[in-house]
Structure 1
């Protein structure tokens, strides 16, 4: 199924070691040929074989069953169609709606294999209402989408082809490859003659699945606790220990000439034709929103919630919509650690804006790069944010400020009044999925240790979301794969997994790696409802 739920909660056991797949890559006369991935022989990602088997099943995605040698063979958004099944004269709140999707190629011929990446939603522009549809791939070129009708009034269906199955197969090859789609810069500095500093800039990257070549012109940096390794080209004049600053660099496009054609804008992220009549949903006695308090271990239905008048109603638990005074009361005497990328920084900035008495402390760091701190003196609220460790594509910043999430968690005492929020997706997506799994497994180990010494600590994981770009460098399909790894890794632990993907994919706001303020506000309500259940 192509949609994931908005959050996942569970409790359970520790992980061990497993290997993720590496691809077999081949070409046919310069054209793309789909191939299956095979397990990596050397990647130690920190999970057990049993857990890997479970993840492999969750990550499974159909692939083309023939060599793709012409664009005409790929899924055509203008040719594909959808229709509503079992039309009824009257629909009521709580009913389900079923849609049939037929994928066709550019010859207008129905496809006979699956793997297309469709996103679907039911929406009303007038009501500012929307809900995702749950997509089932029948693996024969046809798909089903199931919708809940959660609000009274107008509603209509929209189906979007984000990527054809042929493009998804290319994305799978790239995500499972050890080739890096991004590089970085390292800035080296040291005292020189006459009081002047010697400065050099070199390229750097993740060291993953490559031989140790430090003796042939490379500086290798290994974190002793996580085992993560970073490598930089050795400076000509300075030693490896003169590495002071880091910043994001450029991109490397791994596609062949033919593969690049498949990412043409006319073929990507396009709505398909179908029955877009406006349905009139009548009222009923069915209650859609959940009434139970938010707590660990609750089952998560699909969909997990919906928007109405731009307000998210949860089907998991009772979401309270917090005003500024409510937020202050909820967070009183709380120590909050936020770690991750600029999307968790959005949350930090949201609290700064919405709670006037929460004041940022000048700790002499960049206001965007961090680390950041804000304090509410009267209510004893301490809010922290810092970027996760390498790889990171931020502007130039001190290497000393780049801390791995797991190392930060290892240094926390935790407790009833400690809240930890983290995410890691957008900056890691340029690297192999095996590397991502390794990073996630190390964070998991730290969370397990934290919850053993301080079981009342609240740990909240914020997933990746949809974004504006849909290319081979970064796209929604990659984020879905990361979300699956993260969700599966933490499914047996007493943590809160907030999958924001659903909330961003069905909203009318323009897709952005930094979601619109209205989406952030609703996500904060979910977050606070778990901190202070009502």
Structure 2
């Protein structure tokens, strides 16, 4: 009897102990499963890299607190304020558009309204905005198209009012470039210190024995606390006028003053496995379905009215113009088409300074190929510049040079890279001087606050130039759409830069803002960082219409 009692007690003890152990294991398993699920579905805050956010004051950007507040309002972009998941993100397959109260026919000059409805991958209506849609009207046979601005109603619906500017037929085209979830990821890394773009500095000097010592190190901008740096840091190069600081890893053998060449380096993708899913090709830059009806547009006998001469100070409407038979018809002012002889006549006795990136170099190369007698001078530089072409008989000089670092070009002398504001400071100006500048494509890899800083310095120099030579023609060429739809060079970055540039020069008299974004956004050619020849030809005609208005 006693032994049986002992055995029963032992069994009870073992059962009780095992029960506790099993309960503990189950709890641990549930905790781990929860953590795994949480890892795959992190909230926006959870996917932020540590110490990534840059805090920059308005004074560091070179603007007032009031202007920065105004800029932030203009740049405001809604988005999800909750845990983001792939299935709850915007689906291009399930999102649709529809025409409001469609008619059998319209007249030239009428508008149509389009409603875009965003849905997630579960076919549910989105409840917040922030998606990056693009809309246009087009006719492939007529080579006609017009841009439509998409308005975000911040509740999952969007609208676009499309002008009907040509006689014939047209169709609506809407595409989802990025979901609102992707835009939030883009925004997060744009404002982080993560170096998505790397650069190289080439150091070299002649030694006492006539041999050449050279070293290649990594370089990048210095911007804010926690910005890019290396353990063996750093050679710093601060521009006196702009205050911009470029830094390079300190060479092992050579001093900092031996920096000779600069080039682009590699690209570094900051996206984690979870974030990369949102950038899949099936989700990015996809045409969405909608009304398939052909829009019939009848002639309008009322006429289009007259447009004023092209000059500075004119507002850029939406749309700013349209293509018909591959010719851009501007709504801003009375633009003309220029053949080669007319180009030469317009440029007679002119000095044209073009500063920026390879998109302004396209303009230089266009003039070089089209203007009779214009010849490039041999400056012993390759395509990276600086470049100069002259036509002696009619006294035409055209310059092009790249802007300062950061710049993703091939190996080139660092001394050839001048900040736009410094170049403008060295131009005397006058009625015979034309200045064109652009800065966008190479700045999208860096914080928007840094872009604001650069634009603030350019504005300061432009104001000074107009003060000493008010008859100078100054043209700001906006950023254009591109083929990149990724974490590195998304069009959303360029769109935000264009807003900054336009807002910061809004009240500067004597400046022409040239919106090429609309021209590239609605054209039938595949979007490319370097617009196709037909777009360049139309852009040059618009530009010359400001130089030689009628």
TM-score (norm 1): 0.92
Paired position in structure 2 for 1:153: 168
Paired position in structure 2 for 1:294: 310
Residue among 496, 510, 529 paired with 1:481: 496
Deviation for aligned residue 1:30: 5.3
Residue among 18, 34, 39 paired with 1:29: 39
Q: Which moved more, 1:208-217 or 1:238-247?
A: 208-217
Paired position in structure 2 for 1:85: 100
Paired position in structure 1 for 2:248: 232
The residue correspondences of 1:50-69 to structure 2 (distance < 5 A) are 50-68=66-84
Rounded to whole Å, the distance in 2 between the matches of 1:299 and 1:231 is 40
Contact kept? 1:43, 1:434, Cα under 8 Å: no
Rounded to whole Å, the distance in 1 between the matches of 2:494 and 2:173 is 22
Q: Structure 1 residues 289 and 79, CA, compared in 2 at 3 Å: closer, same or farther?
A: farther
Contact kept? 2:54, 2:226, Cα under 8 Å: no
Residue among 121, 139, 143 paired with 1:106: 121
Residue among 507, 513, 519 paired with 2:535: 519
Paired position in structure 2 for 1:177: 192
Rounded to whole Å, the distance in 2 between the matches of 1:363 and 1:289 is 48
Deviation for aligned residue 1:52: 1.4
Paired position in structure 1 for 2:26: none
Local SS of the residue matching 1:29: helix
Paired position in structure 1 for 2:296: 280
Paired position in structure 1 for 2:448: 433
Contact kept? 2:54, 2:192, Cα under 8 Å: no
Which residues of structure 2 form unaligned runs of 5+? 1-36
Q: Structure 1 residues 121 and 98, CA, compared in 2 at 3 Å: closer, same or farther?
A: same
Q: Which moved more, 1:522-531 or 1:175-184?
A: 175-184
Which residues of structure 1 form unaligned runs of 5+? 1-26
Deviation for aligned residue 1:32: 4.7
Paired position in structure 2 for 1:362: 378
Q: Which moved more, 1:33-42 or 1:227-236?
A: 33-42
Q: Structure 1 residues 471 and 426, CA, compared in 2 at 3 Å: closer, same or farther?
A: same
Rounded to whole Å, the distance in 2 between the matches of 1:525 and 1:185 is 38
Aligned alpha-carbon RMSD (Å)? 1.8
CA deviations 1:58-114 (Å, max 9, x no partner) are 10000113211x311110001100111111122110111001110000001110100
Contact kept? 2:352, 2:435, Cα under 8 Å: yes
Q: Which moved more, 1:409-418 or 1:276-285?
A: 276-285
Contact kept? 2:56, 2:224, Cα under 8 Å: no
Paired position in structure 2 for 1:200: 215
TM-score (norm 2): 0.89
Paired position in structure 2 for 1:268: 284
The residue correspondences of 1:30-429 to structure 2 (distance < 5 A) are 31-34=41-44, 40-41=56-57, 44-68=60-84, 70-210=85-225, 217-288=233-304, 291-366=307-382, 368-429=383-444
Contact kept? 1:214, 1:220, Cα under 8 Å: no
With a CA cutoff of 8 Å and minimum separation of 6, indicate the structure with the bigger relative contact order: 1
* Equivalenced residues, count: 506
Rounded to whole Å, the distance in 1 between the matches of 2:501 and 2:93 is 35
Higher share in helix: 2
Rounded to whole Å, the distance in 2 between the matches of 1:217 and 1:54 is 37
Q: Structure 1 residues 290 and 160, CA, compared in 2 at 3 Å: closer, same or farther?
A: farther
The residue correspondences of 1:453-472 to structure 2 (distance < 5 A) are 453-472=468-487
Rounded to whole Å, the distance in 1 between the matches of 2:157 and 2:305 is 32
Q: Which moved more, 1:275-284 or 1:341-350?
A: 275-284
Local SS of the residue matching 1:518: helix
CA deviations 1:199-226 (Å, max 9, x no partner) are 1110100111136979953111111111
Q: Which moved more, 1:167-176 or 1:291-300?
A: 291-300
